[in-house]
Amino acid sequence: MRLEMDSEDWERKGLLLFTQNRVGDALDAYNKAIQTNPKSYLAWSLKCDILVYLKKYDEALDAIIQAIGIKPDNSDYWLKKGDILYFLGHYEDSLTAYTRGIELNPKSIACWIGKSNTCEKLKRYDEALSAINTALTIDPEIKYYWFLKSEICNKLNHNSDAFSAFSTAISFDPHEPFSMFFSCILR
């Protein structure tokens, strides 16, 4: 009969505590999971998630770097790193992380959107448009991405493409008040 908790036990406990909104206790559980097994990439990743939730981005970055050091082929970890660097305003590094995530998983819509948003922040609108277009080829059914494309096209003065993307976005839910308002204007 095993009496001591192993890393996986602490990880499960952390998840349970987080669902109970006991964030500090969840973080403690992940730290205990890491103490039990410093090579647990999942514990490092879960710790990162808690730290992002707490807006402790520098600490979150350290945690996800640890997870990547253990499991460098996980595109989700590169996505998390890109998001944290984006939040910290380190856009070039963020772009590098999203690009690595895309190399590992070319179908990662979140990495493509992160890349598009980051390129837009860097005023690299052609790259931003290319990234959003790729995301839309993977899943064209997400209204928000069409709005993003419309904004980028507008910044590039591609007015007909901006109009088309915006029209597509509002067509997803034409009875929504926002969509109804703009569809009247666009007629």
Lowest mean pLDDT: which of 80-84, 97-101, 120-124, 180-184?
A: 180-184
- Checking if the pLDDT of 179 tops 60, the result is no
Q: So what's the pLDDT on residue 170?
A: 85
The answer as to whether 158 is a domain residue is: no
Q: What is the pLDDT of residue 178?
A: 54
Question: Does any domain span residue 79?
Answer: no
Residue 40 belongs to domain with CATH number: 1.25.40.10
CA distances from 122 to 1, 56, 149, 156 (A): 57, 24, 16, 14
Is 30 within a domain? yes
Q: Please state the rounded mean pLDDT for residues 167-185.
A: 64
Residue 105, pLDDT > 60, answer: yes
pLDDT at 184 over 50: no
pTM value is: 0.88
Q: What is the DSSP string of 102-147?
A: HHH-TT-HHHHHHHHHHHHHTT-HHHHHHHHHHHHHH-TT-HHHHH
Q: Where is pLDDT greater, at 171 or 92?
A: 92
Residue 16 lies in a domain: yes
Output the pLDDT for position 53.
96
pLDDT band for position 1 (cuts 50, 70, 90): low
Residue 15 placed within a domain? yes
Instruction: Evaluate whether residue 17 is within a structural domain.
Output: yes
Which of 21, 83, 19, 72 lies closest to 48 in space, CA to CA? 83
- Note down the domain range covering 51: 1-72
Q: What's the chain's average pLDDT? A: 92
> How many domains is the chain partitioned into structurally?
1
Structure confidence at residue 177 as a pLDDT band (50, 70, 90): low
* 110-168 pLDDT, tens digit each: 999 999 999 999 999 999 999 999 999 999 999 999 999 999 999 999 999 999 998 89
